[in-house]
Chain A
């Protein structure tokens, strides 16, 4: 026996004037998978799931770090600002409605936090004339991280890069192709599956296996360093 619902299965949508809306005229916008995933994680975080928020932290902490490093040189200060930014974002997560991408919103919080931090230290953002501020506001053009490089850090970078590139070269062809199309060409799984003429599940599996193989080679290197330089 099906229970009777108070509201019918095919609910009709009414606007505030009690006029029925014509569903057939509604636009269906393509969904950006990255934004969709972020929205899902935000919604979970809004309902009390802190672990969902931790995935957003993991996803964007490096990106935010790179952003802040253009304003602040000292690494421990950068880490403090990144941490403060995420805490502020978490406190305000209930107000995030998805009108913009999550990172756009986080970026604004990060910039403000960094500016406030510099002001509180009596510092002005380094080398920040009007052009640089404008460049920073157009954050999509930014990709590079400014860090103070030491010989040790340069050596470590080179070792890691050599290990990864060496591991890539030794991968079976199909794994190498899959991960290159994903990481270097930035293609989505569907596009890769069309190019490689294989199911999406196979693409997913190949990319995963490539990553695992490379990560295994990296283990000895990254376990010996547990802090940023």
Chain B
């Protein structure tokens, strides 16, 4: 072999190794997010927080580039959620509920597609591998860079990068929320009929309660000094029951954590509330200003929800 051929062979052999070594470690999160959208799998996962725990059976498929999933509660009242693309259909004893999926990342699809935002707020590190649901999984820690958010520990499947386990910890390293697969199986093909047996997708569904989403002509508020790393991702307005009043929900995210900031007019007979309280892993901060009850809600530290509720001015 001539010298140049040898050199070329060496480059072809070494370069991929170098590329792998130089690859941005954050890309693994992007790949994991894609895996949760593209893989076909069926399994059972268990979710737990300080206030409740439950098990869910899940079937997920990507058919002709469209996501389908079927989630069935195994504990408590029988409920089923069927997702088709960005529409979500919830079947319960009360009837059928239809929602458009915007910001919900249902486990195991917990990672956002855009990780640039995550990089600003979290520090990435890799932990040890361990078995989860009889599969080897790599521990990834997303440690908060400040005290405005919690830490996220994710175990992703070593072979296909699907998140198999998620634990959210506070700044004292105490778990506050977790979800983990107990069994999971991957398959190449899942029949679409499995998803459509409960819901007739050709039928037109009309909501009983009309509410306006994202119709906000004039924002009569300003937001100042928001907690660092959070950006507004959605704005929803709803009519207060029976009254010609609107209340508003502004949603913020740092890529993993979400906070809702509610602006609700105080109606006659209602006493305004102020203070901070925790319900399970969720912290809520309430403030009153100029006839409005302001409440911020999120699985974030109490100081963060306090800052959000204080950030609003009229």
| Chain A directly contacts chain B within the complex, with at least one CB pair under 8 Å | yes
Residues on A facing B (Cβ under 8 Å): 1-7, 47-48
Which A residues lie within 8 Å of B218 (CB)?
Answer: 1-2
Interface size class of B (residues with CB under 8 A): 10 to 19
A7 x B220 contact (CB < 8 A): no
B291 at the interface (CB under 8 A from A): yes
Instruction: Give CA–CA (A19, B168) in the complex, Å.
Output: 56
B217 x A1 contact (CB < 8 A): yes
Interface core residue of A2, A3, A4, A47 (most chain B CB under 10 Å)? A3
Q: Is the interface of B mostly helix, strand, loop or mixed?
A: loop
B244 x A4 contact (CB < 8 A): yes
Instruction: Give CA–CA (A7, B290) in the complex, Å.
Output: 8
Instruction: Give CA–CA (A3, B290) in the complex, Å.
Output: 13
- Which residues of chain B from 239 to 276 have any CB-CB distance to chain A below 8 Å in the complex? 244-246, 265-268, 276
Contact with A along B263-302 (1 / 0, CB 8 A): 0011110000000100000000000001110000000000
Other contacts beyond A3-B265, A48-B303: 11, CB < 8 A: A2-B218, A2-B220, A3-B220, A3-B246, A4-B245, A5-B292, A6-B245, A6-B267, A47-B306, A47-B310, A48-B306
Instruction: Look across to chain A and name the residue whose beta carbon is closest to the beta carbon of B212.
Output: A1
A6 x B220 contact (CB < 8 A): no
> What are 25 residue pairs bridging A and B, where the CB atoms are less than 8 Å apart in the complex?
A1-B217, A1-B218, A2-B218, A3-B220, A3-B245, A3-B246, A4-B244, A4-B265, A5-B265, A5-B290, A5-B291, A5-B292, A6-B245, A6-B265, A6-B266, A6-B267, A6-B268, A6-B291, A7-B266, A7-B290, A7-B291, A47-B306, A47-B310, A48-B303, A48-B306
- Choose among A6, A7, A48 the residue that contacts B276 (Cβ–Cβ < 8 A): A48
In the complex, what's the smallest C-beta–C-beta distance from B57 to chain A, in angstroms? 43
In the complex, what's the smallest C-beta–C-beta distance from B73 to chain A, in angstroms? 37
In the complex, what's the smallest C-beta–C-beta distance from A17 to chain B, in angstroms? 21
Interchain residue pairs A-B with the least CB separation, the first 4: A7-B291, A3-B246, A5-B291, A1-B217
Instruction: Give CA–CA (A2, B290) in the complex, Å.
Output: 15
Instruction: Give CA–CA (A5, B218) in the complex, Å.
Output: 14
Instruction: Give CA–CA (A2, B244) in the complex, Å.
Output: 11
Instruction: Give CA–CA (A48, B265) in the complex, Å.
Output: 25
Which B residues lie within 8 Å of A3 (CB)?
Answer: 220, 245-246, 265
Instruction: Give CA–CA (A7, B246) in the complex, Å.
Output: 14
Instruction: Give CA–CA (A3, B306) in the complex, Å.
Output: 25
Contact with A along B40-66 (1 / 0, CB 8 A): 000000000000000000000000000
Instruction: Give CA–CA (A47, B306) in the complex, Å.
Output: 9
Instruction: Look across to chain A and name the residue whose beta carbon is closest to the beta carbon of B266.
Output: A6
